[in-house]
Structure 1
Amino acid sequence: MKKSNYLILMFLFATITLSAQEISEHAIGLRLGDSDGFGAEISYQNATSQNNRLEFDLGWRDSRKFSAFKLAGLYQWVRPIEGGFNWYYGVGGGVGSVDFDGAFDDDDDGGVFIFAAGDIGIEYNFDIPLLLSMDFRPEIGVAGYNGFSDNFDFDIGLGIRYQF
């Protein structure tokens, strides 16, 4: 067997070995974030396989200019780093509603919206059933009230979840 074939086999074995760390079947907690206004989300994660999970977040945002709530759903791939650290990435979307507090000149009252989202983050899995995470979730408007589809938002969040 050629040297390059050995290297390929070693790389595949290392990749499979690194992916062997399991994630908890369920986790529930809070995700605190900031995207044009501080907000909190009730967050639930459900493992679909050894290295994949679904995340559902129901949250609200509030600022001087608007108040909003949204429901997001994401499919995530979880990859171990070292020790209790993992990194993850995912895709998904959601639905929400926003009410502007007269802060804009175009008399836009807000309304219902639909968005697509990506997700990338890092988490630490403690020996106790506690999971801390920090993630970045870019969101883009797909449909909704007048002018929403041009909306692009950067959502950064800190998560704390109990695993069971």
Structure 2
Amino acid sequence: MNRILQITFISVITFLGFSTAAQAQLTTQHAIGARFGSATGITYRYTLSPDRAIEGIMSVQSNSKSSRFRLVGLYQYHKPLIDDLSWFWGFGGSVGSYTGKAYTDANGKRFDKYSELALSIDGIAGLEYKIPSAPIAITLDAKPYFDFLQESGFRIVDGLGFSVRYTF
């Protein structure tokens, strides 16, 4: 089922990426806000042209055994769907740190704290709704990434997020 979901998601993004019927409209130069999901942080988007932008995300992710800090940079393409709803996709990368917390397992074995460099290639695809009567944009996105160093692998679920941004 997970594989079917991945193929469907990639197919939809590819189809929408090659459609050229509409012109995108990023109407504000800046957007800053908070991103929530498995990783929580601050997001800032800078508009380069009416249909392109760059975004930076500083996020923290933590559980009982580890924590992760990441700085993500993304280049994005934006296209309108209807009225104030648009969709976007893009790519980039991230750098950060991965820290394993000190703990003792159920068998009494002790694990010490350690820290490593974290590097990844990131993608992003999502929907953005700009509230017409307010300088607020709401975004729902998937930000899959390929992690090079820790448990090298492709992650989709870790990248699901919801953002609320102030636009100016």
TM-score, normalization by structure 2:
0.76
Distance in 1 between the 2:136 and 2:82 partners? 17
Deviation at 1:15, TM superposition (A): 3.6
> 1:125 corresponds to which residue?
130
What is the root-mean-square deviation of aligned Cα atoms in Å? 2.2
Deviation at 1:21, TM superposition (A): 2.6
Deviation at 1:100, TM superposition (A): 1.2
Asked if residue 160 in structure 1 is aligned to residue 158 in structure 2, the reply is no
One-letter amino acid of the structure 2 residue matched with residue 79 of structure 1: K
- Sequence identity percentage: 30
Deviation at 1:67, TM superposition (A): 1.1
Distance in 2 between the 1:20 and 1:68 partners? 34
Deviation at 1:83, TM superposition (A): 1.2
Residues 1-164 of structure 1: pairs in structure 2 closer than 5 A? 15=20, 18-34=22-38, 39-102=39-102, 109-127=114-132, 128-142=134-148, 144=149, 148=150, 150-154=152-156, 155-164=159-168
Distance in 2 between the 1:63 and 1:85 partners? 34
Q: Which structure: larger Rg?
A: 1
How many residues align structurally? 142
Inter-CA distance 52–119: structure 2 relative to 1 (3 Å threshold)? same
Alignment gaps of 5+ in structure 1? 1-13
Distance in 1 between the 2:68 and 2:90 partners? 23
CA contact (8 A) 2:46 2:55 kept: yes
The 3-state SS of whatever aligns with 1:48 is: strand
Deviation at 1:33, TM superposition (A): 1.5
CA contact (8 A) 2:101 2:112 kept: no
TM-score, normalization by structure 1:
0.78
CA contact (8 A) 1:43 1:57 kept: yes
CA contact (8 A) 2:24 2:79 kept: no
